[in-house]
Amino acid sequence: MIQARGLTKRYGEKTAVDHADFTVEPGHVTGFLGPNGAGKSTTMRMVLGLDRPSGGDVTVGGRHYRDLGAPLREVGALLDAKAVHPGRSAYNHLRCLAQSNAIPRRRVDEVIGLVGLESVASKPFRGFSLGMGQRLGIAAALLGDPAVLMFDEPVNGLDPEGILWIRNLMKDLAAEGRTVFVSSHLMSEMAVTADHLVVIGRGRILADTGMREFIDDNATSHVLVRSPEAARLRPLLAGRSWRVDVEDERTLQVHGATATEVGDVAADHGIRLHELCAVQPSLEEAFMQLTGDSVEYHAGALAGLPPGLSRAGGDGA
């Protein structure tokens, strides 16, 4: 278990992490989400004793990282997969780590096999692709067979097969009763990997909750309706005080109504429908909704939105 209480980190004027309280429980994959610069890496670094908190406290299994005798046996982490000496082989890198934590040599072979690096284990790190580097970082995290694992952007640069492998690995580790804490910007990936979420924005914890609850609390479902007569249907729906967003000239999103209600309005007016379905909100929508005000670095313009599609709510009353 990872427990943060009042955890704070200031860099001069900048408060990177601001009185963060959260608990990462064993047996779950807990996603750590937040916009760029929100404080995720700083928080993870404080868990690992790489940054000293300016205030508050964070413990792993009830103890501070600095008090762990053989840290790799208690907590394994992938923070920066590139932090390996370029001339060192994967095997030697892992062997050094194992030696300094009293981990038997056979475990090095085991983890190399586990991450699928057997064929390149004796090659120098400088020739490793991004994906191979990520796998080596994961091997290092698993080396001490720890009860707590932290991964900062583990699927960065991985191909689809690698992403699927990491997803299953994290779920398996959690199913074994381990604590798995993982940060990622890939919402679709998090949605199918994590079952609990800690969300941070501008250093503050915005949510510490189950995946389903998070989506239900922060986004609403809508009805998608496709019709060649969308222009005629639109004012009829908006007149019912439902919010209607225009996706394109044939497609409307109706908020606040059920698919049955929308279908009935269309039928009452003899309007042909080509599609009618209830759309469940995604993790991405819920995340954007919650963190919209916490985004520090915005793009200059919202390019590429279809004409008429408005997040603010189209024609609704």
Ligand X SMILES: Nc1ncnc2c1ncn2[C@@H]1O[C@H](COP(=O)(O)OP(=O)(O)OP(=O)(O)O)[C@@H](O)[C@H]1O
**Cβ distance 284 to 214 under 8 Å?**
no
Decide if residue 291 touches ligand X (CB under 6 A).
Answer: no
**Tokens 């980190």, residue located:** 9
Residue 271 CB, shortest distance to ligand X, in Å, is 46
Residue number, 207 or 233, with CB nearest to ligand X:
207
Among 5, 6, 11, 217, binds ligand X (CB under 6 A): 11
Number of helical H runs and strand E runs in the chain? 11, 13
Residue number, 14 or 66, with CB nearest to ligand X:
14
One symbol per residue from 14 to 53: x for binding ligand X (CB under 6 A), - otherwise; what is it? x-x-----------------x-xxxxxxx-----------
- Which long-range contacts (C-beta less than 8 Å, at least 24 apart) are formed by 129-133? 130/81, 130/156, 130/157, 130/158, 131/157, 131/158, 131/159, 131/162, 133/81, 133/82, 133/84
Residue 11 CB, shortest distance to ligand X, in Å, is 3
Residue 183 CB, shortest distance to ligand X, in Å, is 7
Q: How far apart are CA 7 and CA 10, in angstroms?
A: 10
Residue 205 CB, shortest distance to ligand X, in Å, is 12
Rg (CA), the chain: 24
Angle between the 211-218 and 283-291 helix axes, to the nearest 10 degrees?
Answer: 60
# residues contacting ligand X (CB under 6 A): 11
Residue 231 CB, shortest distance to ligand X, in Å, is 42
Using CB under 6 A, list all residues that contact ligand X. 11, 14, 16, 34, 36-42
